[in-house]
Amino acid sequence: MQAIGFEQPGAPDVLAIGEVAVPEPGPADVLIRVAYAGVNRPDCLQRAGAYPPPPGASPILGLEVAGEIVAVGAEVPDTMLGQPVAALTPGGGYGEYCTAPWNHCLPVPEGMDIKTAAALPETLFTVWHNLFERGMARDGERVLVHGGTSGIGTMAILLGKAFGMEMIVTCGSETKCAAAREIGADLAINYREEDFVEAVKAHTGGEGVNVVLDMVSGDYVPRNLKCLAEDGRHVTIAVLGGARAELNMAVVMMRRYCLTGSTLRPRSDAFKAALADEIAADAWPLFARGEIAPVMDKTFPLAEAAAAHARMEAGEHVGKIVLEVAGAS
């Protein structure tokens, strides 16, 4: 099959299409003929040598796909054969075929575009776990999300509004702020033009937000805490601005903050299966009914994965970038 690979870590231009063996599904896996694969920030980090795949995972990039199940392992229900699915994968999505645990798949309902389905799993699983489970966000609360027009940011806006939250985001330009407001953000702050801490205080009358979903970390963390209301929750999902932060822990105690975070890819198959079940029950129907849909940015042919990575790393995208894989050869 055709797949994207790289000989040495580096810039986007190390990515090249080549021929590799079709993967063999394990007993609990399905083999998917990939139609589209989502592009995510962890893909860029892995390509750059900063995020190695976990033991046993495919070295091929790609954490989410959509396509048709063409083979199943011995422990997989036979009824899944031939089904169109969106799948969270441990890797391997940038190829014509990809394996995934069968219980990490969500059925693509009639009427949902297969390209749209491919843009859902990674951000949906990440936001659901971190915003709703770890961040304990609930209706009526205020949420601050950095990177408001990223795949994660746009998914957070959509889900937060669907469940009755006030969504505040930061973006790097007025154009992106306008896009975030169009998606549904109640307030979009251009962090290059104004101090997001002061903007949050002004918008909330000094009360602050209940949850911060942060992918920057570094020196953003103490600033984020200044945005939090008492009993606020700070959830870290990436460290794009640096892994270290200096905090006044007396403030954390006095205001009863909860600081948490997570990474999704290294979690167990059982954890991801349980998360998929919860999403299937509580969030997937919103997409299946067309009440909300992922924000789509640009589609690239599989062979142009390098251009897709360059677009993501330049911060030019609004929403999800996907690769068209079907017919790559």
- The token duo for 49 is 């040598």
Q: What is the distance of C-alpha 74 from the center of its chain?
A: 30
Which residues neighbour 52 within 8 Å (Cβ) at sequence distance 6 or greater?
46
**pLDDT tens, position by position, 133-182:** 999 999 999 999 999 999 999 999 999 999 999 999 999 999 999 999 99
Instruction: Check pLDDT > 60 for residue 127.
Output: yes
Sequential DSSP letters for 273-296:
HHHHHHHHHHTHHHHHTTSS-PPE
- The token duo for 248 is 């006044």
The CA distance from 251 to 5, in Å, is: 47
Domains of the chain listed by start with CATH number: 2-120+266-324 (3.90.180.10), 124-261 (3.40.50.720)
pLDDT of the residue at 188: 98
Mean pLDDT of 299-303: 98
- The pTM of this model reads 0.95
pLDDT of the residue at 235: 98
pLDDT of the residue at 329: 47
**pLDDT tens, position by position, 215-268:** 999 999 999 999 999 999 999 999 999 999 999 999 999 999 999 999 999 999
Mean pLDDT of 171-200: 97
Instruction: Check pLDDT > 70 for residue 328.
Output: no
Question: How buried is 122 (Cβ within 10 angstroms: 0-12 exposed, 13-18 middle, 19+ buried)?
Answer: buried
Share of the chain above pLDDT 70, in %: 99
Share of the chain above pLDDT 90, in %: 96
User: Mean pLDDT over all residues of the chain?
Assistant: 96
pLDDT of the residue at 327: 66
**Coarse DSSP helix, strand, coil percentages of the chain, rounded to the nearest 5 percent:** 35, 25, 40
The CA distance from 262 to 268, in Å, is: 13
Mean pLDDT of 102-123: 96
**pLDDT tens, position by position, 25-81:** 999 999 999 999 999 999 999 999 999 999 989 999 999 999 999 999 999 999 999
Give the residue from 5, 41, 237, 212 showing the smallest Cα distance to 129. 237
